[in-house]
Structure 1
Amino acid sequence: MANNTEENTQLASRYIDLLENILEPFVDRSIRMAELVEILAIINSTLEPNKLLWLIMKSAKSVMKSEASSLMILDKDTGDLIISIPTGPVSAELSGLRIPPGKGISGWVAKHEIPVAVPDVSADPRFYGDVDKASGFKTRSIICVPMKNPNGEIIGVLQAINKLDGTPFTNEDISLFSAFADQAAIALENARLHAEELEKQRLEQELTLARQIQQKFWPDEPPAIEGISVSGISIPAREVGGDYYDFIPIGQNQLGITVGDISGKGVPAALLMATLRAMLRTQIENHHSVSDTVSLVNNAIFRDIPDEKYLTLFYCVLDIKARHITYVNAGHTPGFLYNMHNKEEKYLEIGGTLVGFFEDFPFQEGRESLDSGCVFLLYSDGATDALNPEDEGFGAERLYSLVRENCHLNAKDLISLIYQKIVEFSNGTQQFDDITMIAVKID
């Protein structure tokens, strides 16, 4: 009886050992999958890019139970793989190291988009030994898997090096590591989109603030002058524009009127516009002539303006009592002067070249009388260059016709009508240039 009991005990022990051997891979896989789920939950809760990269690398090493791990980001311009935040004994030496296109096992994986496990790198001709030479690290085995964004585009590779227990990486490791890499790639894409959204919000806030500041440079209200109506508008093509207009009282009987157009759009153009405004107002306060004022501004801008920028300017002084204007047109669109009584029209072009092109340029002055019934229009080329859906420009003649046909209106109503006609003509076509206009109407 005792012998039977002993035999049964031995048989049960062997059965348990056999069962453990059979179940061990499944138990181990279940444990690893549970660890993976836990790790991915942490990764997917992180949106800060650098922290996320560090977590991915730390987790890759843990998931694969390896000595080291590295994430290599694909440089789309060069095709290089750039080692980003590696982990392991020589991580500092490897960070930022570039691997040329197709080089090494990682380059092969990036090119073919196929995961591999190499049990002995010394026997694999694809192995790129320069990384070990640079770091002093000894690579024995590698597992490397591609990383793709949700669109299926390769963004890099993830690799683990040297299992801690010395065994080679297996096909099961490839499956597990590939699943990890897929989720890590999604987390990276989410972090990238989040960072882009934050940057977009920051830029929008900056542009809103810049536009608010820029609008403070524009006149709040046109000056009230007996017998003369004056009005102006500026509609930026973007949040912040490069057009400029201003009304500047000069003593009791004169009014400085100016329209400027800086090449380009956005904050750089707006900053240059603010510089122009400050310079022009400073010179006007010094009581220079119209041509001298423009010349002094030209020389100042010549020293400061970037080479790729240009600036046009129409500056005139309205003599309120004498009813005439003295002007300089520095490369700007011509001022349009129309007399509703005798139908005479003139194009004010006297002046010179663009502001800031040549130092000490000899700008010339023009002078025109403003008789009763005269309408004087200044505008930027955004008004005439506005396009309709057929890609046809609004054009100067259409603009002048509106002045002729509506010269009975005061300055404010005339400008409002012209802008309305430009909007109707554009018919929803996106505005690509700032639109600025000033009108002066003599009763």
Structure 2
Amino acid sequence: MAQKKIGSVHDLQTILQISQALTAERDLDRLLWLIISACSRLVDADRSSLFIVDQSRDELWTKVAEQTTTIRLPMGSGIAGTVAKEGQTLNIVDAYQDQRFNPIVDHKSGYRTKSVLCMPLINSSGEVVGVIETINKKNGKAFTARDEQLLGALCSHAAIALDNARLLRQDLAHQSLLHELELAHSIQQGLLPQSAPSISGWTFAIYQSPCEQTGGDYHDFIPHAHCQAVDVVVGDVSGHGVSAALLMSTARAFLRALDQDSTRPGQLLEQINHLLVQDMADDRFMTMVVCRLDESGHVRYASAGHEPPIVFRTENGYCDENVETDLLLGMLDGVGYAEYVLPPLNRGDLLVLCTDGVFEAVSPHTGEVWGMERLRELVRKQASVGASALCQKIMESISDYTDHSPQKDDITLLIAEKT
């Protein structure tokens, strides 16, 4: 009786020491090895394995199995899979007499499994997060009820430690992702103009905001010194986020490389389209409008599936109805892009470019979009305030219309005022 009591105290001390070690360990990989070595030592097993439940794939996996390679198995398959699915302990005297046992690993390794004690790791929410499987009691006998008690006590501590370590790893991965996104955002913003250029005869105002850290909207100003003109560009890659930002950066590089050698905006779009067709996936595309403005107010543009420029004229107080546009970029090679010449703009006239995030902003109350007509109406009514103030008023109107809810798409608004 005294010997049994001393043994129990020793076991409790061992579990307490192991529990303290598990609690202190935050690295998931080291924790996994610590758990299985503790299990083997505690119940005097020849080897142990720790399986992790992957709910997304409905399977168990392990890279922590003493003297074995990485193993994956479906939930409900084999002894470990059955324990994971049912959440109940299995204490098997002779594995080869149990139909749930899969002898393939034994056949490949030459090892002979006899006794198996397999237990679920259940977290504080009652979810099975893993399975401990100890194999072959070293004395050649079966695992005892006392072994079940000891391993059960250890599994309770191990489940909590494992859950904490996984949450910590997820948090660190999340923080790393946020850092990478912030870096990507910084790089992308560095590719966009930091301020409007000083061009004789024109004043510009710009608002640009991605709906995520990075986005697929693009705007640029590319001056042509030889003809006293500037190419004003607005583009929109389908989708948003990192993939759209990468395509936007590619398109920008092509545009910058080709612009000075292109005699007209339509030719520029043809060359960019030829290059993008080779790089873009079938489900991706890009819209773009290129407006070439000179200091005297002459404007010509080409559009690849993008909303044409809105032109407000102070002389009559109306907006021109420009509707001409051609095929989206990246859809089909060999496409031609026409060039459209607008009547010259005079002092106080406005040219407005935007992406669909502006006019497709949705009211959370009615489900209706803000719409191009609201944009034209606001331009007509507020044109006299100038480009910068008008840009601000448009964005305030959209924010009010959407009840200040988070934007669903990238937004770019660019206004050019003839001075």
TM-score bucket (shorter structure): over 0.9
Q: Give the total of aligned pairs.
A: 416
SS class of match (2:384): coil
**Displacement after TM superposition at 1:402 (Å):** 1.1
> Is 1:387–1:429's contact at 8 Å kept on the other side of the alignment?
no
1:319 corresponding residue in structure 2: 294
Which of the residues 245, 248, 257 maps onto 1:273? 248
> Is 1:338–1:375's contact at 8 Å kept on the other side of the alignment?
yes
**Percent of residue pairs bearing the same amino acid type:** 33
> TM-score when scaled to structure 2?
0.93
1:384 corresponding residue in structure 2: 359
**Displacement after TM superposition at 1:132 (Å):** 2.4
Shifted more, 429-438 versus 117-126: the winner is: 117-126
Deviations, residues 275-321 of structure 1 (Å, cap 9, x unaligned): 21121122221142111111111111111222222100010100212
Q: Distance in 1 between matches of 2:142 and 2:349?
A: 92
Q: Distance in 1 between matches of 2:7 and 2:60?
A: 33
Q: Distance in 1 between matches of 2:371 and 2:83?
A: 58
Cα 1:120–1:220 change in 2 (3 A) is closer
**Displacement after TM superposition at 1:182 (Å):** 2.1
Which of the residues 288, 298, 309 maps onto 2:284? 309
Which of the residues 403, 409, 413 maps onto 1:427? 403
Matched, 1:48 2:23: no
SS class of match (1:408): helix
Cα 1:155–1:277 change in 2 (3 A) is same
2:418 corresponding residue in structure 1: 442
1:38 corresponding residue in structure 2: 17
Q: Distance in 2 between matches of 1:111 and 1:294?
A: 58
Deviations, residues 336-383 of structure 1 (Å, cap 9, x unaligned): 112233133223332410012111211101111213332211000001
Q: Distance in 1 between matches of 2:385 and 2:10?
A: 84
1:408 corresponding residue in structure 2: 384
In structure 1, runs of 5+ residues without a counterpart are 1-21
> Is 2:129–2:163's contact at 8 Å kept on the other side of the alignment?
no
SS class of match (1:353): coil
Which of the residues 258, 263, 267 maps onto 2:238? 263
**Displacement after TM superposition at 1:106 (Å):** 2.4
Which of the residues 371, 393, 396 maps onto 1:417? 393
In structure 2, runs of 5+ residues without a counterpart are none
1:206 corresponding residue in structure 2: 180
Deviations, residues 185-228 of structure 1 (Å, cap 9, x unaligned): 22222121111111111121122122222122222221234553
> TM-score when scaled to structure 1?
0.89
Which of the residues 73, 81, 84 maps onto 2:52? 73
Cα 1:131–1:227 change in 2 (3 A) is closer
Q: Distance in 1 between matches of 2:359 and 2:279?
A: 29
> Is 1:49–1:188's contact at 8 Å kept on the other side of the alignment?
yes
Deviations, residues 12-69 of structure 1 (Å, cap 9, x unaligned): xxxxxxxxxx122221121111111111221222222222211111111111111111
1:144 corresponding residue in structure 2: 118
Q: Distance in 2 between matches of 1:438 and 1:310?
A: 21
User: What does residue range 141-220 of structure 1 map to in structure 2 within 5 Å?
Assistant: 141-220=115-194
Q: Distance in 2 between matches of 1:212 and 1:191?
A: 31
Cα 1:423–1:65 change in 2 (3 A) is same
Q: Distance in 1 between matches of 2:258 and 2:99?
A: 75
SS class of match (1:74): strand
Matched, 1:371 2:350: no
Cα 1:31–1:345 change in 2 (3 A) is same
> Is 1:335–1:347's contact at 8 Å kept on the other side of the alignment?
no
